[in-house]
Amino acid sequence: MKFFIDTANLAQIKEAHELGILDGVTTNPSLMAKEGIKGHEAVMNHYKAICEMVDGDISAEVIATDFDGIVAEGKALAALHPNIVVKVPMIKDGVKAIKWFTDNGIRTNCTLVFSAGQAILCAKAGAAYVSPFIGRIDDSGWDGVQLIEQISHIYTVQGFKTEILAASIRNPNHIIRCAEAGADVCTCPLDSILGLLKHPLTDIGLAKFLEDAKKTQ
């Protein structure tokens, strides 16, 4: 399973990158706004800065919701860097645009996916990635990881090539469960990635080893 970081914060991207396990980055308009990125030029420059930091797929989301607007924005984003993946919302014109991008050699990540039916449409349109939002499904009282299992099963049975990108990750256990469920990629906040490191027995064991090491010096 590939690891993407789900942020537009350059310091966090750098920290995850330096860990040596980072395969890519996902952003969205909310994450860009959180970093105070304002104006078309600033947004485009920020995507370029991320592409220069990480040699992997970088998802950049369109704002338009009509076919012509999505295509125009997606073409401009894709022209920024070969690693840009155009992130398109799961709406009717979004699906049409994904098919257009597929036919024109531009890779896409279909976002805001909450059902298996939506995931089938993503795959049919040729999206490189489908992004089911695990945490938001959990927040509304359903089980997000079950959706990953269901999509994984359907894609295997049908031979779809779209990669399952588990999104809206809230904690380290989500990452583990998505790996079990067959996600191809997990896009995670830095805290959830670092949370995978932690186990109290590791800390206790290391403290004991370091204490005993003093006896050998």
**Distance between CA atoms of 22 and 3, rounded to whole angstroms?**
5
* Whole-number Å distance between alpha carbons of 132 and 113: 5
Amino acid letter, 114? F
Q: Write out the E strands in the chain.
A: 2-6, 24-26, 57-61, 84-89, 108-113, 129-132, 163-166, 185-188
200 exposed, middle or buried (CB, 10 Å; 0-12, 13-18, 19+)?
A: exposed
Which residues ranging from 135 to 164 are in contact with ligand E4P (CB under 6 A)? 135-136
From the list 47-55, 76-84, 130-138, 177-185, the region that binds ligand E4P by CB under 6 A is 130-138
**Which residues 41-70 are close enough to bind ligand E4P by CB under 6 A?**
none
Report the alpha-carbon distance of residue 125 to residue 67 in Å, rounded. 14
Instruction: Classify residue 115 by burial, with Cβ atoms within 10 Å: 0-12, 13-18, 19+.
Output: middle
Is 87 annotated as catalytic? yes
Q: 78 or 169: whose CB is closer to ligand E4P?
A: 169
Q: Residue 191's CB: how many other CB atoms inside 10 A?
A: 12
- Catalytic residue selected from 87, 124, 198, 214: 87
Cβ proximity to ligand E4P: between 6 and 73 the closer is: 6
Q: Closer to ligand E4P by CB, 97 or 169: give it.
A: 169
Which listed residue (121, 168, 174, 193) binds ligand E4P by CB under 6 A?
Answer: 168
The site string for ligand E4P over 3-42 (x = CB under 6 A, - otherwise) reads ---x-------------------x-x--------------
Considering only 100, 114, 133, 155, the residue that binds ligand E4P (CB under 6 A) is 133
Cα–Cα dist 16/62, whole Å: 25
The only residue of 127, 187, 192, 193 in contact with ligand E4P, by rule CB under 6 A: 187
Output the smallest distance, CB 157 to ligand E4P, in A. Answer: 25
Which residues are annotated as catalytic?
87
Interface ranges with ligand E4P (CB under 6 A): 6, 26, 28, 111, 131, 133, 135-136, 167-168, 187
